A = this chain, B = another copy of it.
């Protein structure tokens, strides 16, 4: 693992916006599903997933079958994780509020859940039941009445049982066996069997990502996720074995995953480099992790913690571990990081699976302006204005002045239409 000074590292990575061919393919799929509905879904599922399906929805029998195929240990761990995720996300729930004035005016903000949310769950070799929990539970806690999942079927036309068990634990009963850009199309436009949703969340391959970008605006989407990342900020008190293991836990995700150590200690830097080599050798996903460490891994040695935090804030990592003597004392120095793990026992997988925080976190430097998935992603707000007669009488002319200044006469006239009535009423009262 290369050891650099902070100034030698810019950490910039590019966003994969796909090839022209991929973009065109996605557009064609979207428009085809929009026009032909389920029949198009059948064709694409046959082409990409090698199975032709009549019904897309997962049946009660399939749920029951899945339940028998997941070990009690995994089920219990998923259930406990779900409880923790519920507990954390419950704290994010916000209330509608109102503010009233003596003048009779009331202003407020109503918070309501979205009506229908669609969760994309990737298929293929790996199945991630933890992602089902992380995406579905915040929607459920927000109060979304209809949460649905789409996920590509295997060649046997089935879904990974752990996905179905996780869905059941999260309370999601409506699951469709459709993947890829065609699933995003179905969720956006609706088909005979799949009703359109208000928001699409969840990760996917480049076709899914491009399709989400394309339909953005017609439906709400969560974010365009990139490969996972971890940055560790460590001083001389940190344990190099822990750091190396945590770096590798993200490196194994994808050959483009980034794993970066920023440390004030040259000794820690060198030990971590050795430990990474040693631990790498033992990993089943060695090739992936090795490529990630080689191409996107780095150890930056900094002069002090200030310089360390500056480097971290430039990187704006998805996951940040702070392994220093007094992590809380320095927490306020973090400007940009999706999720922050403090101390030696907050290994990043604790957050991936169990602690209760969300593991859908902004990647690729977007923690500068984005946030982890939360209940906020499944609500919508409406402003409320109940303006009183007294306030309109007192302030109407100011509103008219502003409207006229902007050349929007009809805006002014909507107000004067009322003000004229007020004047007339007053005259009538006076003349009595």
A89's closest neighbor in chain B, by CB? B109
Are A418 and B249 CB-contacts (below 8 A) given A77-B401, A126-B406?
Answer: no
The interface residues of chain B lying within 8 Å CB-to-CB of A25 are none
B91, B199, B350, B402: the one contacting A415 at CB < 8 Å is B350
Cβ A413 vs Cβ B249 within 8 A: yes
Are A213 and B217 CB-contacts (below 8 A) given A382-B340, A410-B283?
Answer: yes
A324 at the interface (CB under 8 A from B): no
When chains A and B are docked, how far (Å) is the Cα of A384 from the Cα of B398? 47
A56 at the interface (CB under 8 A from B): no
Cβ B107 vs Cβ A97 within 8 A: no
Cβ B198 vs Cβ A368 within 8 A: yes
Cβ A349 vs Cβ B414 within 8 A: yes
Task: Give a binary string over A54-98; 1 marks a CB under 8 Å from any B CB, 0 the rest.
Answer: 000000000000000001011011101100000010011010010
B91, B345, B383: the one contacting A387 at CB < 8 Å is B345
Cβ A115 vs Cβ B368 within 8 A: yes
A379's closest neighbor in chain B, by CB? B371
Cβ A289 vs Cβ B77 within 8 A: no
The interface residues of chain B lying within 8 Å CB-to-CB of A229 are none
When chains A and B are docked, how far (Å) is the Cα of A20 from the Cα of B367? 32
A53 at the interface (CB under 8 A from B): no
Question: A31-39, A127-135, A148-156, A262-270: which one contacts chain B?
Answer: A127-135
A424 at the interface (CB under 8 A from B): no
A381 vs chain B, min Cβ distance (A): 4
Are A402 and B130 CB-contacts (below 8 A) given A248-B410, A414-B242?
Answer: yes
Cβ B342 vs Cβ A384 within 8 A: yes
The interface residues of chain B lying within 8 Å CB-to-CB of A398 are 76-77, 80-81, 353-354
Cβ A218 vs Cβ B97 within 8 A: no
A331 at the interface (CB under 8 A from B): yes
Are A220 and B370 CB-contacts (below 8 A) given A340-B110, A387-B343?
Answer: yes
A129 vs chain B, min Cβ distance (A): 7
A4 at the interface (CB under 8 A from B): no
A-side binding surface: helix, strand, loop or mixed? mixed
Cβ A92 vs Cβ B109 within 8 A: yes
Task: Give a binary string over A404-420; 1 marks a CB under 8 Å from any B CB, 0 the rest.
Answer: 01111111111101100
Question: A40-48, A172-180, A298-306, A355-363: which one contacts chain B?
Answer: A355-363
Cβ A410 vs Cβ B251 within 8 A: yes
Most buried by B among A241, A334, A337, A418: A418
When chains A and B are docked, how far (Å) is the Cα of A282 from the Cα of B162? 67
When chains A and B are docked, how far (Å) is the Cα of A157 from the Cα of B385? 39
Task: Give a binary string over A368-406; 1 marks a CB under 8 Å from any B CB, 0 the rest.
Answer: 111110101001111111111101100100110111011
B217, B285, B349, B369: the one contacting A219 at CB < 8 Å is B369
B129, B385, B405: the one contacting A346 at CB < 8 Å is B385
Cβ B385 vs Cβ A381 within 8 A: no
When chains A and B are docked, how far (Å) is the Cα of A402 from the Cα of B79? 11
A127 vs chain B, min Cβ distance (A): 7
A384 vs chain B, min Cβ distance (A): 5
Cβ A382 vs Cβ B370 within 8 A: no
A-B pairs with beta carbons under 8 Å apart, 14 shown: A91-B97, A213-B216, A213-B217, A220-B369, A249-B414, A253-B408, A282-B413, A283-B410, A339-B383, A341-B387, A345-B392, A346-B386, A348-B414, A349-B412
